[in-house]
Amino acid sequence: PRTTVGIIGAGPAGLLLSHLLHRQGIDNVVLELRDRTYVERRQRAGILEQDTVDVLRLSGAGARMDRQGLEHHGIELRFDRRSHRIDFPSLTGGRSVMVYAQTEVVKDLIALREEADGTILFEAEALSVDGIETDRPAVRYRHDGAEHTLDCDFVVACDGFHGIGRRSLPEDVLTVTERTYPFSWLGILADVAPSCDELIYAHHERGFALHSMRSPEVSRLYLQVDPDDSTDNWPDERIWDELEARFAVDGDWELKRGPITEKSITPMRSFVAEPLRHGRLFLAGDAAHIVPPTGAKGLNLAVADVTLLAQALTRHHTRGDESLLDAYSETALRRVWRAEHFSYTMTTLLHSSPDDNDFDRALRLSHLRYLANSAAASASLAENYVGFSDN
């Protein structure tokens, strides 16, 4: 088969790019390794920045988000048994975020592509990208037990951290910058009303905890655990006891417990591959960069990348002008590095590391108190959380 833009991966990046290109009349095909149900159920992000919400709305993909998403105007920081609220609108000129799960964004985008007769090939594994230095790149893939070739004008790798896209760039072109962390997150979904109206980011000497939500009936919570820990070590009672200990405050707040319906452990890393383009192959989303989840930036970066790419490919398609394609890598990386710094800062601020000494612990507490008590420090956190880019 042949198409204008070959897209590898049907995560949020690949699906949104496909949708945005289709709206500009640009033909595209999405190849996805997994089946549709798997892609629609994979539990991940939950927070959409204002810019992400705007892109979904303006492209006609925001109807259900506007009905079911929960607009949040702040977060709570908890440490030393006390709560401190950070108010977004007053600190950011009226901006806020939306709680709307990645699973729902993905379902909405797949439904829209389906209605428009778009092509998403599920259970199609991309094997290699060839000819990226020519103007006829191609993706070799396996589908229904046979190998095929998708001939394209451009290929965009939206195939996540473990995909093949990034590895298709010549080794001497690609630079990788990376950091790992000595902890992971145990995440749960529970059928219980959230015990809070806004997200709680808690620092405790036992470790970090996060109270998030999916709806007025479903809570999403995370606990810092050891990197080599297993969910087998975490029966439901132990999870609730540990969450309760880390969220404890003076006063009459209570953590509501309920049946846990999902449990998984995610490692944490910071990772940036540069550049995001070589010849006619582009990288977007987790294929190019990873942030630790504290700060909720990953999905939002994926959306920002493909929004730029859709504009750049449209400009090329309608006017034969390549300037935005040429600028893509540099433009996208400015936002990526801002998010890398913010996510790293939030992660080191809120987690307890086994390597910490007394000096590290004292600095962390001082930083937390500064964020809680200084309008300037809170404004900086708020500005980054709702989404900041100096492009």
> Which residue ranges make up the site for ligand DHB (CB under 6 A)?
45-47, 199, 210, 212, 220, 293-296
Is 299 or 368 the residue whose CB approaches ligand FAD more closely?
A: 299
Q: Tell me the closest approach of the beta carbon of residue 101 to ligand DHB, in angstroms.
A: 7
Query: Can 316 be counted among the known catalytic residues?
Result: no
State the binding partner of 33 from ligand DHB, ligand FAD, none, CB within 5 to 8 A by kind.
ligand FAD
Q: Which of 201, 211, 289, 351 is catalytic?
A: 201
Is position 107 annotated as part of the catalytic site?
A: no
Residue 354 among the catalytic residues = no
Task: Select from ligand FAD, ligand DHB, none the partner in contact with residue 76, using the beta carbon and a kind-dependent cut-off of 5 to 8 Å.
Answer: none
298 φ/ψ sector (left φ>0, alpha ψ -120 to 50, else beta): alpha
- Residue written as tokens 């540069």? 274
The least distance separating ligand FAD from the CB of residue 73, rounded to whole angstroms, comes to: 17
Determine the size of the site formed for ligand FAD (CB under 6 A): 35
Tell me the pairing of strands 207-213 and 82-87. Answer: unpaired
Q: In the β-sheet with 70-72, what is the strand arrangement from edge to edge?
A: 47-48, 97-99, 70-72
Bridge pairing between strands 5-8 and 28-31? parallel
* Distance (Å, whole) CA 325 – CA 238: 51
Return the residues of window 178-237 that contact ligand FAD according to CB under 6 A.
187
Minimum distance between the CB of residue 225 and ligand DHB, rounded to whole angstroms?
Answer: 15
Residue 17 contact partner, candidates ligand FAD, ligand DHB, none, CB within 5 to 8 A by sort of partner: none
| Residue 201 designated active-site | yes
What size, in residues, is the chain? 391
Contact 113/18 with Cβ under 8 angstroms?
yes
Whole-number Å distance between alpha carbons of 106 and 114: 12
Strand-pair partners of 273: 176
Q: Would you call the peptide bond into 216 cis, given omega within 30 degrees of 0 as the criterion?
A: no
**DSSP classification of residue 164:** S
Q: Residue 263: what residue type?
A: K
Q: State yes or no: residue 164 binds ligand FAD (CB under 6 A).
A: yes
Answer yes or no: 72 catalytic.
yes
Q: Which is nearer to ligand FAD, 278 or 369 (CB)?
A: 278
Tokens of 303: 């959306």
Shorter beta-carbon distance to ligand DHB: residue 70 or 127: 70
According to the binding rule CB under 6 A, does residue 6 interact with ligand FAD?
no
- Catalytic residue, chosen from 72, 203, 317, 351, is 72
Inter-residue contact 30 to 18 (CB < 8 Å):
yes
Write the binding mask 231 to 270 for ligand FAD: x where contact by CB under 6 A, - elsewhere: -----------------------------------x----
Catalytic residue among 293, 316, 328, 351: 293
Residues numbered 86-145 forming contacts with ligand FAD, rule: CB under 6 A: 102, 125-126
For ligand DHB, give the closer residue by CB, 14 or 194.
194
CB of 199 to ligand DHB, least distance (A): 6
Backbone angles phi, psi at 174, to 5 degrees: -85, 130
Note whether 80 and 373 are within 8 A (CB). no
Element at 221 (helix H, strand E): strand 219-225
Which value, to the nearest 10 degrees, does the dihedral of the CA atoms of residues 73, 77, 78, 79 take?
-170
Tokens matching residue 119: 């092509």
Query: Taking the complex as a whole, how short is the minimal distance between the CB of residue 213 and ligand DHB, in angstroms?
Result: 7
Binding site for ligand FAD (CB under 6 A): 8-14, 31-34, 39, 44-47, 102, 125-126, 158-160, 163-164, 187, 266, 285-286, 293, 296-300, 302
Residues with a known catalytic role: 72, 201, 293, 297, 385
